[in-house]
Amino acid sequence: MLFSCVDNGIRKRFIDVSHQALGSLHFPISLGFRSQTQKLAFLSSDVDGRFLKPVINFKNVMDIFKDRFNQGLPKPIFHQAHIGETYSLIYSPFYLEDKLVDAILNEPVRTDLPDDFDISNFAGGRPKWSIHFIPNLCPSCGWDLEGKRDSIVLCCKNCRTAWRAVKKELKKLTVAHVPSDDSHVTYMPFWRIKADVSGIRLRSYADLIKVANLPKVAQEGWDRIRFHFWCPAFKVRPQNFLQIAGSMTVSQTLKKLKPEMPEGTRHPANLPIQEAVESLKINLANFMRPRDKMTELIADIDIVPETYLLAYIPFIEDHHEFIQPDINLAINKNMLGLAKNL
């Protein structure tokens, strides 16, 4: 998801594109729709072929994408963030006879190869990459961990703990939930992040009311309630992501959190905390009022995350939606279903 703060608000779009990693004029610059329509298989050392070594790194490719998409945006651009990205290195097959041929379509890619073209000039060789597995056992009690296929958080029913994979081991997560007595409830995961904000005053709930220009009068004690950013820990489309993050942050769930994993149905958490941190400035820009205040200040605001936890918030299941009545927030079931492809 690419978010851009411009003079008339926040532009958002979903990106699923590819770019050649060789920097060569002899191969196609992009895979087009092939990476979205063709079945992909993991690369392992027993796959035949010569695999050319990438030259352009992910950061350079992301800069190329941003330059391309920024051409259609009004200027100036005050801030940009790309959130929830998944990088993949995809090898597309070609073979060389007297021409360079696409091995999937069996059609020539270039018929005008120079006489001195030599594929051995490209660094490459056999793949040395392999898949590594981490035992799916709770490091605390040894019980089997549970999680959906796309979940980055695994839960232990026995000791009520949550874990995420970090490199080659499992790290314990700080979790909490808002208790609910409703029998038709699904717990949605959110990252709650405490951060230091410089450039504006935003440390308490009372500060939030002023920054967001909420139709409320600050009550006694609200200046002692610590402000937190809230971000969905699950993937949704860009427009839904911004709306959910803004609603949760402005509402500042004030009910006391119980410091343990909830029982019952939990929606899988599949958006990493690193991506949630990248969204903080976009989230702030979304709820700052008036709008001209955002464009005036946002470029000079710095946000430094301090602590975080994974909070499960109860949503009542309806026919078409999950509803959080305390903050008047509804999440469409179809929207969540479509997000599985993100």
Per-residue confidence (pLDDT) for residue 110, from 0 to 100: 73
Per-residue confidence (pLDDT) for residue 341, from 0 to 100: 67
Can you say whether the dihedral through the CA atoms of 116, 120, 121, 122 is positive or negative?
A: positive
Per-residue confidence (pLDDT) for residue 226, from 0 to 100: 94
Task: Read off the pLDDT band of 255 (50, 70, 90).
Answer: confident
The per-residue pLDDT for range 275-285, each reduced to its tens digit, is: 999 999 999 99
Q: What percent of the chain has pLDDT over 70?
A: 99
Q: Nearest Cα to 170, choosing from 209, 144, 208?
A: 144
| 57 vs 175: CA distance, rounded Å | 35
| 196 vs 230: CA distance, rounded Å | 14
Crossing angle of helices 280-287 and 238-251, rounded to 10°? 70
Residue 39 has pLDDT above 90, yes or no: no
Residue with tokens 């959906």: 148
> Average pLDDT, whole number, for the chain?
90
The per-residue pLDDT for range 185-197, each reduced to its tens digit, is: 999 999 999 999 9
The per-residue pLDDT for range 213-237, each reduced to its tens digit, is: 999 888 888 999 999 999 999 999 9
Residue 165 has pLDDT above 70, yes or no: yes
Per-residue confidence (pLDDT) for residue 44, from 0 to 100: 83
Residue scoring higher pLDDT (28 or 115) = 28
pTM of the model as a whole: 0.87
The per-residue pLDDT for range 43-100, each reduced to its tens digit, is: 888 888 899 999 998 888 888 888 888 998 999 999 999 898 888 899 999 988 778 8
Compute the average pLDDT of residues 314-319. Answer: 92
Per-residue confidence (pLDDT) for residue 342, from 0 to 100: 65
